[in-house]
């Protein structure tokens, strides 16, 4: 690295609002660890599919299966700081509907920890996030797995999964109202333009707001039959935009900062097809970070035409 490049880095560092993040990973992990967790999520997904089928056929929701075969995996996966690499491994998998509920449970649990929720609220959050879409068990498989865009009538039916889930959960004695409300409210939005009730702001439970963030992130990041996974920059930009009117801004900013901070020191592919390493994050604009490529230093705050296209897989 030349003297001029070093000077450029030091000058850029002065403009960032927080101390420099060291490139040494504070949360070392192995590919083997990620692979093992992925296998456990595969097994948990099979159990979740069984739960959906039981409920869809008029049976009871087995909390025993949840507590014994699904929650331990979610809680273990939520300890991994490198969320992006975990879901990179999972993105090639099938069974989106059932895997999505588990992944939202993982993401929401992580966010709850980052927000320092009390243990009881964190447990309610994990349970509610994992069961947020259980009402889809009552939706016809033709609509649920349709490979193309839903008609208005089909979409109206799909939206009822929030009510179906709420009615199911509120009638289980061992599940409290906070959990049932997550199933009902995770598609409500701050501006009142969500569904099913069009609630706004303070009318929406805090835990539901957390699950909404987790739900949007995983849905946009995932490959589905009818929807390709969005590029990294598109997902993060949409999350940032949604913080103005749709999603709780404090939850979104906390989530984005933690995700981006976990990627400091990681290799990324930029939209100009160059490859670089993330050096540091601006906490007030986390997606416009400082990146060092082989040829130059790029401050994305001032290079608006360049964005992070994807995080490169660890070798």
Q: How far apart are CA 207 and CA 296, in angstroms?
A: 43
Q: Which helix (H) or strand (E) holds 101?
A: helix 96-114
Which ranges constitute the DSSP H helices of 3-70?
3-15, 31-56, 63-65
* Mean local confidence (pLDDT), 175-200: 97
Please, which residues bridge with residue 258 across strands? none
* pTM, rounded to two decimals: 0.88
Cis-peptide into 196, omega within 30 deg = yes
pLDDT over 60 at 21, yes or no: no
The mean of the pLDDT values for the chain is: 87
Cβ(129)–Cβ(214) below 8 Å? yes
pLDDT for residue 149: 87
* Confidence category of residue 311, pLDDT binned at 50, 70, 90: confident
pLDDT for residue 28: 52
pLDDT for residue 106: 94
pLDDT for residue 52: 94
Mean pLDDT check: name the lowest of 3-17, 46-60, 176-190: 3-17
* Confidence category of residue 313, pLDDT binned at 50, 70, 90: confident
Cβ(125)–Cβ(207) below 8 Å? yes
The DSSP 8-state label assigned to residue 69 in this structure reads I
Per-residue pLDDT tens for 98-128? 889 999 999 999 999 999 999 999 999 999 9
Q: Which helix (H) or strand (E) holds 244?
A: none
What are the distances in angstroms from CA 63 to CA 3, 58, 107, 149, 165?
Answer: 62, 15, 21, 34, 15
* Confidence category of residue 14, pLDDT binned at 50, 70, 90: low
Per-residue pLDDT tens for 39-70? 899 999 999 999 999 999 999 999 999 999 99
pLDDT for residue 22: 44
pLDDT for residue 90: 66
Domains annotated for the chain, with CATH where assigned, are: 29-229 (1.10.3210.10)
Which has more confidence, 190 or 37?
Answer: 190
* Confidence category of residue 223, pLDDT binned at 50, 70, 90: confident
Number of Cβ atoms within 10 Å of the Cβ of 29: 16
Per-residue pLDDT tens for 228-247? 788 888 899 999 999 999 99
Q: How far apart are CA 31 and CA 10, in angstroms?
A: 33
Residues 6+ apart with CB under 8 A from 96: 222, 223, 224, 225
**For the chain, first and last CA: distance in Å?**
24
* Mean local confidence (pLDDT), 176-202: 97
pLDDT over 80 at 153, yes or no: yes
pLDDT for residue 304: 86
Share of the chain above pLDDT 90, in %: 62
* Confidence category of residue 13, pLDDT binned at 50, 70, 90: low
* Mean local confidence (pLDDT), 269-275: 94
User: Smallest Cα–Cα separation from 240: which of 200, 185, 202, 283?
Assistant: 283
* Mean local confidence (pLDDT), 131-150: 92
* Confidence category of residue 314, pLDDT binned at 50, 70, 90: low
């Amino acid at each position: 690295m030349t003297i001029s490049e070093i000077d450029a880095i030091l000058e850029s560092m002065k403009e960032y609002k927080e101390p420099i993040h060291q490139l040494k990973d504070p949360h070392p992990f192995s590919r083997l660890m990620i692979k093992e967790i992925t296998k456990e999520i595969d097994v948990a997904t099979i159990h979740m599919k069984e739960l959906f089928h039981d409920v869809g056929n008029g049976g009871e929701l087995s909390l025993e299966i949840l507590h014994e075969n699904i929650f331990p995996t979610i809680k273990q996966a939520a300890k991994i700081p490198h969320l992006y690499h975990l879901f990179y491994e999972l993105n090639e998998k099938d069974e989106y509907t059932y895997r999505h509920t588990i992944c939202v449970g993982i993401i929401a649990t992580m966010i709850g920890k980052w927000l320092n929720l009390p243990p009881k609220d964190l447990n309610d959050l994990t349970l509610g996030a994992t069961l947020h879409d259980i009402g889809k068990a009552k939706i016809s498989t033709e609509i649920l797995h349709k490979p193309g865009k839903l008609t208005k009538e089909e979409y109206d039916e799909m939206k009822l999964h929030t009510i179906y889930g709420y009615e199911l959960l509120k009638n289980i004695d061992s599940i409290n109202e906070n959990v049932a409300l997550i199933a009902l409210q995770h598609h409500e939005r701050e501006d009142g333009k969500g569904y099913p009730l069009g609630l706004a702001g303070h009318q929406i439970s805090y835990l539901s707001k957390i699950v909404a963030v987790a739900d949007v992130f995983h849905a946009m990041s995932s490959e589905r039959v009818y929807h390709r996974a969005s590029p990294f920059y598109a997902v993060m930009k949409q999350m940032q935009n949604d913080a103005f009117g749709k999603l709780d801004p404090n939850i979104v900013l906390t989530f984005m900062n933690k995700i981006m901070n976990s990627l400091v020191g990681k290799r990324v592919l930029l939209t100009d097809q160059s490859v670089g390493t993330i050096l540091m994050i601006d906490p007030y604009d986390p997606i416009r970070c400082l990146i060092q490529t082989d040829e130059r230093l790029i401050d994305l705050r001032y290079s608006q035409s360049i964005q992070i296209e994807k995080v490169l897989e660890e070798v």
